[in-house]
Amino acid sequence: MRILVVEDDERLGREIAVVLRRADYAVDLMAEGVEAGFLAETEPYDAIVLDLGLPDRDGLDVLKELRAKKVSTPVLILTARDRFSDMVVGFRAGADDYMNKPFRVDELVIRLAALIRRSHGNPQGVLNCGPIALETTSGVVSLDGLPLSLTALEARVLRYLIQRQSSVVSRIELADHVYERDTDRGLNSLEVIISRLRRKIGDARIATVRGEGYRLESSSYT
């Protein structure tokens, strides 16, 4: 899963990015609203963390423009504006969640997981695909009740496939959601990750659809 974090406080932005990466999210960190708005419009993020007090443009204006352009990516607002009226304005502008500063970063991770889960049409806290289970709050993936030992990239790939289970996910779509902006998105590296995942969860669990991509199968296998 890939998150756009828009925060002009350098220290806080780095702290958020570190915690999200530890939770196996890909993170793009921006400090200015204009560039962030362009990225949010052109890149397929799974969620956006948006500060309102940006140096070049108010975060609310960025959000309003995104919604006017039919960008439906879930947006969680971060702000020092703590009046109830400010929260109302944020939700009316199209925010999906709202957190006042200061806040606990671990709570931010939990809220983002819930936003992403709901955006994929998964209201439950645990997603199951046959013997594979994703605990969406913690991000832990288990097989037959036992936690899987996964690298960060393996976790991102498998979590995205679980969210999109039974659907064919193209290599380009998968790369867009598991790699950060400045990372080399070689499709060959995805093949390596898929190969490693198959060894861990079973070869037949991830099907290759020729010319299209991958599909995580929920049916039983031997």
What domains are there in the chain, each with its CATH number? 2-119 (3.40.50.2300), 126-216 (1.10.10.10)
What are the tens digits of pLDDT across the range 1-22?
899 999 999 999 999 999 999 9
pTM of the entire predicted model? 0.84
Angle, CA of 23, 205 and 3, to the nearest 5°:
25
pLDDT at position 85: 87
Task: Tell which residue, 78, 76, 72, has the closest CA to residue 95.
Answer: 76
Residue 108 to residue 194: CA distance in whole angstroms = 29
- State mean pLDDT over 188-197: 90
Read off the tokens for 150: 């996964």
Confidence of residue 67 (pLDDT cuts 50, 70, 90): very high
Which residues contact residue 56 at a Cβ distance below 8 angstroms, ignoring those fewer than 6 apart?
32, 33, 34
- State mean pLDDT over 48-69: 94
What are the tens digits of pLDDT across the range 92-118?
999 999 999 889 999 999 999 999 988
